[in-house]
Structure 1
Amino acid sequence: MMMTDEWMRVIDMAEELSEMLLCSEVVKTYQDARDRVYSNTELRKKIIDFTKMKEQYEDVQRFGRYHPDYRVIMKEIRLQKRELDLQDEVAALRLAENDVQDLLDEIGILIGQSVSEAVKVPAGDGTFSNSSCGGGCGSGGSCSCSA
């Protein structure tokens, strides 16, 4: 593929969009929340311990109830996750992550709409968004269409 002037303009615009995102209040809030989580040594240790427990959990999942430590690990992972979830810093980080994802989803939809109303854009939740028909044509989504 040859690099044309049009491609160069697209790349320049993408870099400009990236810079605007990095300077946005949403991303700054996310960066601040992330810094608060990872600068807290006690919280960072809990995250490391939880990550190690997740590895054990994944091993247990392969064998299910037949794993000798199934009950112990299942209980421990829930306790550690709950402990992390109850930390104000972690909750703030999750909210900030969701806000950044929402912003990226909105930008993706706007870019997709600029190409065509029929373009489906991947959303942060693993689904696709079709700007012209909320639930997708044939599902009776927001445009009330059905096949």
Structure 2
Amino acid sequence: MLATFERIQLLDKSDELVAMILNSEIAENYRQCLSNMQSNMEAQNKIKAFINIKEQYEEVQRFGKYHPNYKPVKSKIREVKREMDLDPHVAEFKKAENDLQALLDEISKIIGHSVSKNIKVPTGNPYFDSLSNCGGGCGSGGSCGCSSK
């Protein structure tokens, strides 16, 4: 692959974009929330408890409702996940993570649609996917309302 002046400019601009994202308030908030969550022992204990019960849940899921511990493990994982999700540090981190993901999704959309409105950008976000004619969630069968060509 030959390095043309245009490609070098494009790479420089992408480096500038990366630097802007890394230096943004959203990215800084994400890093701060991650640090707060990782340094809080109570939050870490809740995360570890969830990981442990999740392993048990995956083992039980192999057999489904026929496993003898199916109901107790199923209710326990809900309880432990709720405790973890309600921890203030975990909740702040999840919000910061969603904010950063929304920024990255928006940037992806802008870049993709600046090339062509027909480019599908897999954001994983139904809101963004529904804004385009065909957000990638359909099977191109047209039942979603898109015009499959």
Structure 1 equivalent of residue 44 of structure 2: 44
Q: CA deviation at 1:134?
A: 6.6
Amino acid at match of 1:20: M
Q: What is the rounded CA distance, in whole Å, between the counterparts of 1:52 and 1:7 in structure 2?
A: 48
Q: Percent identity?
A: 45
Q: For the structure 1 residues 103 and 12, does the alpha-carbon distance in structure 2 shift closer, same or farther, using more than 3 Å as the test?
A: same
Which secondary structure state, in structure 2, belongs to the residue aligned with residue 122 of structure 1?
A: coil
**In the alignment, structure 1 residue 113 sits paired with structure 2 residue 122:** no
**Structure 1 letter corresponding to 2:30:** Y
Residue matched to 1:67: 67
C-alpha distance in 1, partners of 2:2/2:78? 51
Unaligned residue ranges in structure 2 (runs of 5+): none
1:67-102: CA deviations, max 9, x gaps? Answer: 222122112111110111111111111111111111
The one-letter code of the counterpart of 1:36 is N
Q: What is the letter of the counterpart of residue 93 of structure 1? A: F
Give the match for residue 104 of structure 1: 104
TM-score (norm 2): 0.82
Q: Give the structure with the larger strand fraction.
A: 1
TM-superposed deviation, 1:25: 0.7
User: How big is the alpha-carbon RMSD for the aligned residues of Structure 1 and Structure 2?
Assistant: 2.7
Give 2:80's aligned amino acid. Q
How many equivalent residue pairs? 143
Instruction: Please report the TM-score for the alignment, with normalisation by the length of structure 1.
Output: 0.83
CA contact (8 A) 2:33 2:96 kept: yes
Give the Cα separation in 2 of the matches to 1:80 and 1:70. 15
**Distance in 1 (alpha carbons) for counterparts of 2:12 and 2:124:** 25
d(CA) in 2 for partners of 1:3, 1:41:
52
How far apart, in 2, do the equivalents of 1:3 and 1:42 lie? 53
Structure 1 residues 42, 36: closer, same or farther in 2, change over 3 A?
same
Tell me, which stretches of 5 or more residues in structure 1 are unaligned? none
- Kept after mapping to 2: 8 A contact 1:118/1:130: no
Aligned to 2:20: 20
Q: Could you tell me whether the CA contact under 8 Å between 1:113 and 1:131 is conserved in 2?
A: no
Aligned to 2:121, the other structure's residue is in SS state strand
Change (3 A) 1:122 1:128: farther
Query: Aligned partners of 1:11, 1:131: CA distance in 2, in Å?
Result: 29
